Amino acid sequence: MTLKETRPVEEEPLVMVEIDDPIPGPKEVRIKVLTCGVCHTDLHIIEGELPFKKLPIIPGHEIAGVVDATGEEVTRFRRGDRAGVAWLNSTCGNCKLCVKGNENLCEKARFTGYDVDGGYAQYTVVSEDFAYPIPNGFSDLEAAPLLCAGVIGFRALRLSDIEKGGRLGLFGFGASAHIVIQVARYWGCQVFVFSRSEEHRKLAQKLGAVWTGRAEDEPPAKLQSAIIFAPAGKLVLDALRVLEKGGTLALAGIYMTPIPEMDYQEHLYYERTVRSVANSTRKDAQDLLSLATEIPIRTEVQEFQLEEANRSLLLLKQGKIQGAGVLRVSK
């Protein structure tokens, strides 16, 4: 399913095309894509809210599949191995940011389904260094959301400075948040969920939220940390209003509508911190996949066929997907 021109998803911008199977080069593996998660980042790319890098482009960066071909010098994978691909597709490996462990900020970083063709297709090629073994115990449908929704949510959780047993607020309760709450509960946190969707609030309660409400509601206690997943700038003020002194607010989206003017005394004073979350590192992915097995995390999935990609993105935009949407690409 290929994007040739950025347009609203209501206009069904993705079209089915036939292309040649990609051939892996040295140190690369070709993955037969079995499933691919549907992410808000895909939506932002398709609708032109992010500057385009490459058109036409095959979106998709929550890829679960099987290695079906390997290039020369590949040592980490063999044909038949289960493997996943995430948003971070490659980095230079040599700049100061990469050397310091901040490869997610590398100026030469390339991203799956944005700079290079992604997982809304039967095959994708990636460097073996940027592919991940899929843990046993997760089906292909269950594994796909872990590779972005899970990974970026986990990084946001870390950057929120939440302490084990602390009070955490989640604003928006889609694919990322429904994974993050499972990690936070495993750490003994009290989780407060803010969502305009009654169905999403019910899922949050099922997964252990101690309180649910809308963004304008007053929770029973101030938050020590909070994460915003919904791409609505207004939520920054809502979250800061209920954040404790010294608390941290992490913004987990790659895109957000403008943040309204804030009152310094009411929203930011008393050493509150606001920080963005940009992409993720391979270590984030490795740590999340290990933790997912330990907990174990259980992803709530709504399945679609590949040819339903436009429909799945429209439902995502409308907030009508429970948990994570996942495309079934191959069997």
> Residue 95 is part of a domain; what is its CATH number?
3.90.180.10
Does residue 176 share a domain with residue 100? no
Does residue 212 share a domain with residue 298? no
Does residue 180 share a domain with residue 68? no
Does residue 135 share a domain with residue 44? yes
Helices (H), 122-253: 140-143, 149-159, 175-186, 198-206, 234-241
Does residue 128 share a domain with residue 172? no
Characterize the bridge pairing of strands 211-213 and 82-85: unpaired
Does residue 57 share a domain with residue 123? yes
The whole-angstrom separation of Cα 235 and Cα 329 is 35
Does residue 182 share a domain with residue 123? no
Does residue 129 share a domain with residue 228? no
- Predicted confidence pLDDT, tens digits, the chain (331 residues): 999 999 999 999 999 999 999 999 999 999 999 999 999 999 999 999 999 899 999 999 999 999 999 999 999 999 999 999 999 999 999 999 999 999 999 999 999 999 999 999 999 999 999 999 999 999 999 999 999 999 999 999 999 999 999 999 999 999 999 999 999 999 999 999 999 999 999 999 999 999 999 999 999 999 999 999 999 999 999 999 999 999 999 999 999 999 999 999 999 999 999 999 999 999 999 999 999 999 999 999 999 999 999 999 999 999 999 999 999 999 8
Does residue 143 share a domain with residue 121? yes
The whole-angstrom separation of Cα 105 and Cα 102 is 6
- The CATH number linked to 171 is 3.40.50.720
Total tally of structural domains belonging to the chain: 2
Does residue 266 share a domain with residue 160? yes
Does residue 133 share a domain with residue 159? no
The CA distances from residue 245 to 178, 219, 264, 270, in Å, are 27, 16, 13, 5
Asked if residue 323 lies in contact with residue 150, where contact means CB atoms within 8 angstroms, the answer is no
Provide the Cα torsion 79, 84, 90, 96; round to 10°.
Answer: -120
The whole-angstrom separation of Cα 19 and Cα 121 is 9
Looking at residue 52, its pLDDT comes to 86
Residues contacting 250, CB < 8 A, separation 6+ = 156, 157, 159, 160, 225, 226, 227, 228, 275, 276, 277
Write out the residue range of the structural domain in which residue 141 sits: 2-148+279-328
Helix and strand totals (H; E) in the chain = 9, 17
Looking at residue 331, its pLDDT comes to 82
Looking at residue 274, its pLDDT comes to 98
Look at the block and give the residue holding tokens 């996943």: 84
The one-letter amino acid code at 182 reads Q
Residue where one domain finishes, among candidates 260, 276, 292: 276
Residue where one domain finishes, among candidates 236, 254, 276: 276
Does residue 299 share a domain with residue 225? no
The whole-angstrom separation of Cα 242 and Cα 194 is 11
